[in-house]
Amino acid sequence: MTAPFFRVDNLNTWFFTRQGVIKSVRDISFELSRGEVLGIVGESGSGKSVTGMSIMGQIDEPGRIVSGSIALDGEELTTLGFEEMRHYRGKRIAMVFQNPLMTLNPLMRVRDQMYEAIGEHENISRKDMHDRCIEALKAVGIPSPDERLNAYPHEMSGGMRQRVVIAIALLLGPDMIIADEPTTALDVTIQAQIIYHIRRLIDEHGLGMIWITHDLSTLSELADRIMVMYAGATMEIGTTEEIIGAARHPYTRKLLDSVPSRNVPGRKLKQIPGNMPSLLALGKGCPFASRCDRATDICSEPVPAIQLSATHHIWCYHPFED
Protein backbone atom coordinates (compact mmCIF):
# COMPACT_ATOMS: atom_id res chain seq x y z
CA MET A 1 0.00 0.00 0.00
CA THR A 2 1.28 3.43 -0.95
CA ALA A 3 1.18 6.73 0.90
CA PRO A 4 -2.25 8.29 1.29
CA PHE A 5 -3.30 10.49 -1.65
CA PHE A 6 -6.59 11.63 -0.22
CA ARG A 7 -7.11 13.28 3.16
CA VAL A 8 -10.07 14.61 5.11
CA ASP A 9 -9.17 16.75 8.10
CA ASN A 10 -11.56 17.86 10.84
CA LEU A 11 -14.50 18.01 8.48
CA ASN A 12 -17.65 19.64 9.86
CA THR A 13 -20.82 19.62 7.79
CA TRP A 14 -23.85 21.21 9.42
CA PHE A 15 -27.41 21.77 8.29
CA PHE A 16 -29.04 25.02 9.30
CA THR A 17 -32.73 24.11 9.46
CA ARG A 18 -35.73 25.86 10.94
CA GLN A 19 -35.59 23.54 13.94
CA GLY A 20 -31.97 24.36 14.65
CA VAL A 21 -28.48 23.41 13.56
CA ILE A 22 -28.08 19.71 12.74
CA LYS A 23 -24.41 18.87 13.13
CA SER A 24 -24.43 15.87 10.82
CA VAL A 25 -20.67 15.52 10.58
CA ARG A 26 -18.39 16.65 13.38
CA ASP A 27 -14.60 16.66 13.22
CA ILE A 28 -14.19 13.73 10.87
CA SER A 29 -10.62 12.95 9.76
CA PHE A 30 -9.33 10.08 7.69
CA GLU A 31 -7.04 9.31 4.79
CA LEU A 32 -7.12 6.96 1.85
CA SER A 33 -4.35 5.25 -0.12
CA ARG A 34 -4.39 3.78 -3.60
CA GLY A 35 -5.56 0.21 -3.76
CA GLU A 36 -7.34 0.57 -0.44
CA VAL A 37 -10.99 0.20 0.54
CA LEU A 38 -12.01 2.31 3.51
CA GLY A 39 -15.35 1.24 4.93
CA ILE A 40 -17.45 3.80 6.75
CA VAL A 41 -20.04 2.03 8.87
CA GLY A 42 -22.83 3.59 10.87
CA GLU A 43 -26.56 3.51 11.46
CA SER A 44 -28.99 5.91 9.84
CA GLY A 45 -28.29 9.42 11.06
CA SER A 46 -24.66 8.66 11.81
CA GLY A 47 -23.47 11.12 9.15
CA LYS A 48 -21.82 8.54 6.92
CA SER A 49 -23.71 9.58 3.78
CA VAL A 50 -23.24 13.27 4.51
CA THR A 51 -19.51 12.61 4.67
CA GLY A 52 -19.63 11.13 1.18
CA MET A 53 -21.72 13.98 -0.16
CA SER A 54 -19.36 16.51 1.40
CA ILE A 55 -16.42 15.00 -0.46
CA MET A 56 -18.38 15.16 -3.72
CA GLY A 57 -19.24 18.80 -3.08
CA GLN A 58 -22.92 17.95 -3.20
CA ILE A 59 -24.13 19.44 0.05
CA ASP A 60 -27.23 21.47 -0.78
CA GLU A 61 -28.91 24.25 1.14
CA PRO A 62 -29.50 24.50 4.05
CA GLY A 63 -26.35 22.43 4.59
CA ARG A 64 -22.81 23.73 4.46
CA ILE A 65 -19.25 22.52 5.07
CA VAL A 66 -18.54 24.67 8.10
CA SER A 67 -14.87 23.90 8.52
CA GLY A 68 -12.21 21.36 7.72
CA SER A 69 -10.29 20.33 4.68
CA ILE A 70 -10.71 17.76 1.94
CA ALA A 71 -7.56 17.33 -0.11
CA LEU A 72 -6.90 15.16 -3.16
CA ASP A 73 -3.19 14.88 -4.02
CA GLY A 74 -2.62 17.95 -1.90
CA GLU A 75 -5.21 20.03 -3.71
CA GLU A 76 -7.94 21.49 -1.52
CA LEU A 77 -11.46 20.62 -2.72
CA THR A 78 -13.61 22.56 -0.26
CA THR A 79 -12.67 25.92 -1.75
CA LEU A 80 -13.34 24.95 -5.37
CA GLY A 81 -16.17 26.61 -7.26
CA PHE A 82 -19.01 24.69 -8.85
CA GLU A 83 -17.41 24.51 -12.31
CA GLU A 84 -14.02 23.39 -11.02
CA MET A 85 -15.67 20.79 -8.81
CA ARG A 86 -17.59 19.48 -11.81
CA HIS A 87 -14.27 18.74 -13.45
CA TYR A 88 -13.22 16.66 -10.46
CA ARG A 89 -16.54 14.89 -10.20
CA GLY A 90 -16.57 11.85 -12.43
CA LYS A 91 -13.07 12.48 -13.73
CA ARG A 92 -11.17 11.98 -10.50
CA ILE A 93 -13.80 11.12 -7.91
CA ALA A 94 -16.84 9.07 -8.89
CA MET A 95 -19.85 8.25 -6.78
CA VAL A 96 -22.18 5.23 -6.75
CA PHE A 97 -25.52 5.48 -4.94
CA GLN A 98 -27.79 2.88 -3.37
CA ASN A 99 -30.45 3.29 -6.02
CA PRO A 100 -28.97 2.89 -9.52
CA LEU A 101 -31.98 4.68 -10.98
CA MET A 102 -30.71 7.88 -9.36
CA THR A 103 -27.79 7.77 -11.77
CA LEU A 104 -29.29 6.13 -14.83
CA ASN A 105 -31.57 8.00 -17.18
CA PRO A 106 -34.53 5.68 -17.89
CA LEU A 107 -35.01 7.12 -21.38
CA MET A 108 -31.47 6.54 -22.69
CA ARG A 109 -29.71 3.42 -23.78
CA VAL A 110 -26.76 2.36 -21.64
CA ARG A 111 -24.45 3.08 -24.60
CA ASP A 112 -25.56 6.71 -24.90
CA GLN A 113 -25.26 7.28 -21.18
CA MET A 114 -21.76 5.89 -21.13
CA TYR A 115 -20.73 7.90 -24.21
CA GLU A 116 -22.15 11.01 -22.63
CA ALA A 117 -20.17 10.45 -19.46
CA ILE A 118 -16.94 10.18 -21.45
CA GLY A 119 -17.76 13.02 -23.83
CA GLU A 120 -18.32 15.36 -20.92
CA HIS A 121 -14.64 15.24 -20.02
CA GLU A 122 -12.73 13.88 -23.00
CA ASN A 123 -12.71 14.21 -26.74
CA ILE A 124 -12.08 10.77 -28.27
CA SER A 125 -13.43 8.82 -31.22
CA ARG A 126 -16.55 6.68 -30.99
CA LYS A 127 -14.47 3.58 -31.60
CA ASP A 128 -12.31 4.36 -28.57
CA MET A 129 -15.38 5.17 -26.53
CA HIS A 130 -16.92 1.85 -27.47
CA ASP A 131 -13.78 -0.08 -26.53
CA ARG A 132 -13.54 1.68 -23.23
CA CYS A 133 -17.22 0.97 -22.43
CA ILE A 134 -16.83 -2.71 -23.20
CA GLU A 135 -13.74 -2.85 -21.04
CA ALA A 136 -15.55 -1.18 -18.12
CA LEU A 137 -18.56 -3.48 -18.37
CA LYS A 138 -16.28 -6.52 -18.46
CA ALA A 139 -14.43 -5.27 -15.42
CA VAL A 140 -17.61 -5.40 -13.31
CA GLY A 141 -18.41 -8.88 -14.58
CA ILE A 142 -21.25 -8.14 -16.98
CA PRO A 143 -21.71 -11.04 -19.41
CA SER A 144 -22.15 -10.19 -23.13
CA PRO A 145 -21.38 -6.47 -22.71
CA ASP A 146 -22.10 -5.74 -26.38
CA GLU A 147 -25.78 -6.57 -25.91
CA ARG A 148 -26.01 -4.67 -22.64
CA LEU A 149 -24.77 -1.50 -24.32
CA ASN A 150 -27.93 -1.41 -26.41
CA ALA A 151 -30.27 -2.05 -23.49
CA TYR A 152 -32.35 0.44 -21.56
CA PRO A 153 -32.04 0.48 -17.76
CA HIS A 154 -35.52 -0.99 -17.22
CA GLU A 155 -34.58 -4.05 -19.27
CA MET A 156 -32.00 -5.05 -16.67
CA SER A 157 -32.25 -6.45 -13.18
CA GLY A 158 -31.32 -4.41 -10.13
CA GLY A 159 -27.94 -6.11 -9.79
CA MET A 160 -27.13 -5.55 -13.46
CA ARG A 161 -28.11 -1.88 -13.23
CA GLN A 162 -25.87 -1.36 -10.22
CA ARG A 163 -22.98 -2.94 -12.14
CA VAL A 164 -23.61 -0.59 -15.05
CA VAL A 165 -23.48 2.34 -12.64
CA ILE A 166 -20.16 1.12 -11.28
CA ALA A 167 -18.91 0.65 -14.86
CA ILE A 168 -19.87 4.25 -15.65
CA ALA A 169 -18.00 5.36 -12.54
CA LEU A 170 -14.91 3.55 -13.88
CA LEU A 171 -15.07 5.02 -17.38
CA LEU A 172 -12.93 8.08 -16.81
CA GLY A 173 -10.35 6.20 -14.77
CA PRO A 174 -11.00 8.04 -11.50
CA ASP A 175 -8.55 8.00 -8.61
CA MET A 176 -11.24 7.09 -6.17
CA ILE A 177 -14.84 5.91 -5.97
CA ILE A 178 -17.27 6.73 -3.19
CA ALA A 179 -19.98 4.06 -2.93
CA ASP A 180 -22.96 4.83 -0.70
CA GLU A 181 -24.82 1.62 0.27
CA PRO A 182 -24.27 0.23 -3.26
CA THR A 183 -25.37 -3.33 -2.49
CA THR A 184 -27.95 -2.76 0.24
CA ALA A 185 -30.93 -3.14 -2.08
CA LEU A 186 -29.57 -6.27 -3.74
CA ASP A 187 -30.00 -9.93 -2.93
CA VAL A 188 -27.17 -11.66 -1.13
CA THR A 189 -26.07 -13.79 -4.07
CA ILE A 190 -25.89 -10.73 -6.33
CA GLN A 191 -24.18 -8.74 -3.57
CA ALA A 192 -21.47 -11.38 -3.28
CA GLN A 193 -20.82 -11.21 -7.03
CA ILE A 194 -20.46 -7.42 -7.01
CA ILE A 195 -18.16 -7.44 -3.99
CA TYR A 196 -15.97 -10.00 -5.69
CA HIS A 197 -15.57 -7.81 -8.78
CA ILE A 198 -15.03 -4.63 -6.76
CA ARG A 199 -12.24 -6.21 -4.77
CA ARG A 200 -10.57 -7.39 -7.97
CA LEU A 201 -10.87 -3.92 -9.52
CA ILE A 202 -9.32 -2.24 -6.51
CA ASP A 203 -6.41 -4.66 -6.44
CA GLU A 204 -5.75 -4.52 -10.19
CA HIS A 205 -6.22 -0.82 -10.87
CA GLY A 206 -4.96 0.68 -7.62
CA LEU A 207 -8.15 2.66 -7.05
CA GLY A 208 -9.02 4.18 -3.73
CA MET A 209 -12.50 3.40 -2.51
CA ILE A 210 -14.76 4.64 0.25
CA TRP A 211 -17.53 2.13 0.90
CA ILE A 212 -20.34 3.57 3.00
CA THR A 213 -22.72 1.04 4.54
CA HIS A 214 -24.61 0.01 7.65
CA ASP A 215 -23.64 -3.61 7.08
CA LEU A 216 -20.57 -4.77 8.98
CA SER A 217 -20.55 -8.17 7.32
CA THR A 218 -20.03 -6.68 3.85
CA LEU A 219 -17.17 -4.60 5.18
CA SER A 220 -15.55 -7.53 6.92
CA GLU A 221 -15.26 -9.18 3.53
CA LEU A 222 -14.27 -6.17 1.47
CA ALA A 223 -12.66 -3.35 3.44
CA ASP A 224 -9.00 -2.86 4.36
CA ARG A 225 -9.79 -0.33 7.03
CA ILE A 226 -13.06 0.53 8.78
CA MET A 227 -14.24 3.77 10.32
CA VAL A 228 -17.17 3.48 12.75
CA MET A 229 -19.43 6.54 12.96
CA TYR A 230 -22.17 7.36 15.43
CA ALA A 231 -24.35 10.48 15.57
CA GLY A 232 -21.99 12.44 13.33
CA ALA A 233 -18.75 11.58 15.09
CA THR A 234 -16.03 8.98 14.64
CA MET A 235 -16.03 6.32 17.35
CA GLU A 236 -13.23 4.11 16.16
CA ILE A 237 -11.04 3.71 13.11
CA GLY A 238 -8.62 0.93 12.31
CA THR A 239 -7.80 -1.96 10.03
CA THR A 240 -10.53 -4.51 9.43
CA GLU A 241 -8.70 -6.94 11.67
CA GLU A 242 -8.55 -4.37 14.46
CA ILE A 243 -12.22 -3.42 14.19
CA ILE A 244 -13.83 -6.80 13.52
CA GLY A 245 -11.39 -8.89 15.54
CA ALA A 246 -10.40 -6.58 18.38
CA ALA A 247 -12.78 -3.67 18.68
CA ARG A 248 -12.07 -1.57 21.75
CA HIS A 249 -14.86 1.02 21.62
CA PRO A 250 -18.05 0.02 23.49
CA TYR A 251 -20.25 1.07 20.56
CA THR A 252 -18.34 -1.04 18.02
CA ARG A 253 -18.40 -3.99 20.41
CA LYS A 254 -22.12 -3.73 21.01
CA LEU A 255 -22.85 -3.21 17.32
CA LEU A 256 -20.93 -6.39 16.49
CA ASP A 257 -22.59 -8.26 19.34
CA SER A 258 -26.10 -7.37 18.22
CA VAL A 259 -25.70 -9.10 14.84
CA PRO A 260 -27.82 -12.30 14.94
CA SER A 261 -25.15 -14.53 13.39
CA ARG A 262 -22.79 -13.72 16.29
CA ASN A 263 -25.38 -14.79 18.86
CA VAL A 264 -26.61 -18.21 19.93
CA PRO A 265 -29.72 -19.05 17.89
CA GLY A 266 -32.89 -18.96 19.95
CA ARG A 267 -31.33 -16.91 22.75
CA LYS A 268 -31.97 -13.25 23.18
CA LEU A 269 -29.71 -10.96 21.18
CA LYS A 270 -27.34 -8.62 22.93
CA GLN A 271 -29.09 -5.40 22.14
CA ILE A 272 -28.11 -1.76 22.58
CA PRO A 273 -30.86 -0.13 24.61
CA GLY A 274 -32.40 3.20 23.67
CA ASN A 275 -32.26 5.32 20.54
CA MET A 276 -29.73 7.54 18.84
CA PRO A 277 -29.88 11.03 20.38
CA SER A 278 -31.30 13.87 18.33
CA LEU A 279 -28.57 15.59 16.33
CA LEU A 280 -30.15 18.89 17.35
CA ALA A 281 -29.36 18.47 21.03
CA LEU A 282 -25.84 17.09 21.27
CA GLY A 283 -23.51 18.01 24.08
CA LYS A 284 -19.78 18.33 23.62
CA GLY A 285 -19.17 14.87 25.06
CA CYS A 286 -19.47 11.38 23.64
CA PRO A 287 -22.81 11.02 21.81
CA PHE A 288 -23.03 7.35 22.72
CA ALA A 289 -22.81 7.99 26.47
CA SER A 290 -26.59 7.92 26.97
CA ARG A 291 -26.78 4.31 25.74
CA CYS A 292 -23.44 3.09 27.05
CA ASP A 293 -23.19 0.99 30.22
CA ARG A 294 -19.56 2.01 30.76
CA ALA A 295 -20.33 5.73 30.71
CA THR A 296 -19.36 7.94 33.66
CA ASP A 297 -19.48 11.68 34.31
CA ILE A 298 -16.32 12.32 32.34
CA CYS A 299 -18.06 11.15 29.15
CA SER A 300 -19.86 14.51 28.93
CA GLU A 301 -16.46 16.16 28.35
CA PRO A 302 -14.99 16.39 24.82
CA VAL A 303 -13.40 13.07 23.95
CA PRO A 304 -9.77 13.10 22.72
CA ALA A 305 -8.51 10.54 20.22
CA ILE A 306 -6.51 7.70 21.70
CA GLN A 307 -3.96 6.05 19.45
CA LEU A 308 -3.74 2.33 20.08
CA SER A 309 -1.53 1.40 17.14
CA ALA A 310 -0.26 3.04 13.98
CA THR A 311 -3.66 2.46 12.38
CA HIS A 312 -6.05 2.07 15.31
CA HIS A 313 -7.65 5.14 16.94
CA ILE A 314 -10.60 5.35 19.29
CA TRP A 315 -12.55 8.17 20.89
CA CYS A 316 -13.53 6.85 24.28
CA TYR A 317 -12.71 7.37 27.97
CA HIS A 318 -13.55 3.80 28.91
CA PRO A 319 -12.41 1.49 26.12
CA PHE A 320 -12.30 -2.25 26.48
CA GLU A 321 -8.87 -3.32 27.58
CA ASP A 322 -8.14 -6.49 25.63
Partner 1 sequence: MNETIFEARDLSRSFSVGSSPLRDFADHFLRDRPPKVLRAVDNVSLSLREGETLGIVGESGCGKSTLARMIAGILPASSGERRFRDEPYESFLARNRDALKVQMVFQDPLSSLNPRLRVGDIIGEAAVLHGLVRRPQIKDYVADILSQVGLPADSMGRYPHQFSGGQRQRIGIARALAVKPDMLICDEAVAALDVSVQAQIINLLMDIKQDSGLAMIFISHDLGVIRHLCDRVAVMYLGRVVELTETEQLFASPLHPYTRMLLEGMPKISLQRRRFMPIQGEIPSPLSPPSGCHFHPRCPMATEHCGRIRPELREASSGHVHACLNIEPC
Partner 2 sequence: MSTAGFKDYAQHFAESRAAVVSLAVSLAFVACAIFAPLLSPTDPYDLTQLQLSDALKPTGSTRMLPGEEVRANIRIDGSATSVQPATPAKTHVTLVAEPCGLNCLGVGVQPEGTRLANLQIRNLPAGATVEGARKHPVQSWWTVDNPEGGKVRIASNGPLPATFTFLAIARSMDQETDFVFHLGTDSFGRDMFSAILYGVRISVFVGLVAAGAAMVIGTGLGLLSAWRGGITDAIIMRAVDFMLGLPALLVGLAILAILGNGVSKVVLAIVIVQWSYYARTARSFAMSELGKEYVEAARCLRLSPARIMLRHVLPNCMPQIIVLFTLNIASAISLESSLSFLGVGLPLTRPSLGMLIASGYEFIFSHKYWISIYPGIVLLVMIVAMNLLGDRLRDLNNPRLDR
Task: Give the binding site for partner 1 (CB under 8 A).
Answer: 43-44, 143, 157-160, 187-193, 195-196, 214-218, 220-221, 240-241, 244-245, 254-256, 258-263, 265-266, 268-273, 275-276
Stretch that binds partner 2, among 59-67, 165-173, 256-264, 286-294 (CB under 8 A): 59-67
- Give the CA radius of gyration of the chain: 20
Q: Of 24 and 191, which has the nearer Cβ to partner 1?
A: 191
Residue type, 271: Q
Beta bridge partner(s), residue 134: none
Q: How far apart are CA 316 and CA 301, in angstroms?
A: 11
Stretch that binds partner 2, among 58-66, 156-164, 173-181, 249-257 (CB under 8 A): 58-66
Of 233, 218, 183, 217, which is closest to residue 48 (Cα–Cα)? 233
Question: Are the C-beta atoms of 202 and 138 separated by less than 8 Å?
Answer: no
Q: Of 125 and 275, which has the nearer Cβ to partner 1?
A: 275
Q: Of 46 and 56, which has the nearer Cβ to partner 1?
A: 46
Q: Of 47 and 63, which has the nearer Cβ to partner 2?
A: 63
- Kindly state whether residue 245 participates in binding partner 2, applying the rule CB under 8 A: no
Q: Of 23 and 161, which has the nearer Cβ to partner 1?
A: 161
Taking residue 185's Cβ as centre, other Cβ atoms within 10 Å add up to: 14
Binder of partner 2 out of 20, 62, 274, 283 (CB under 8 A): 62
Q: Of 62 and 245, which has the nearer Cβ to partner 1?
A: 245
Q: Of 131 and 147, which has the nearer Cβ to partner 1?
A: 147
Binder of partner 2 out of 3, 18, 281, 321 (CB under 8 A): 18
| Smallest distance, partner 1 to C-beta of residue 154, A | 12
| Smallest distance, partner 1 to C-beta of residue 50, A | 16
Lay out the sheet containing 93-96: strands in order across.
93-96, 176-180, 208-213, 37-41, 225-230, 233-239, 313-314, 306-307
Stretch that binds partner 2, among 55-63, 70-78, 301-309, 310-318 (CB under 8 A): 55-63
Binder of partner 2 out of 61, 73, 321, 322 (CB under 8 A): 61
Q: Which does 158 bind (CB under 5 to 8 A by kind): partner 2, partner 1, none?
A: partner 1
| Smallest distance, partner 1 to C-beta of residue 316, A | 17
Q: Of 62 and 274, which has the nearer Cβ to partner 2?
A: 62
| Smallest distance, partner 1 to C-beta of residue 289, A | 15
Beta bridge partner(s), residue 64: 14
| Smallest distance, partner 1 to C-beta of residue 48, A | 12
Q: In this structure, are strands 176-180 and 208-213 parallel, antiparallel, or unpaired?
A: parallel
Q: How far apart are CA 197 and CA 71, in angstroms?
A: 28
Q: Which does 18 bind (CB under 5 to 8 A by kind): partner 2, partner 1, none?
A: partner 2
Binding interface with partner 2 (CB under 8 A)? 17-18, 60-62
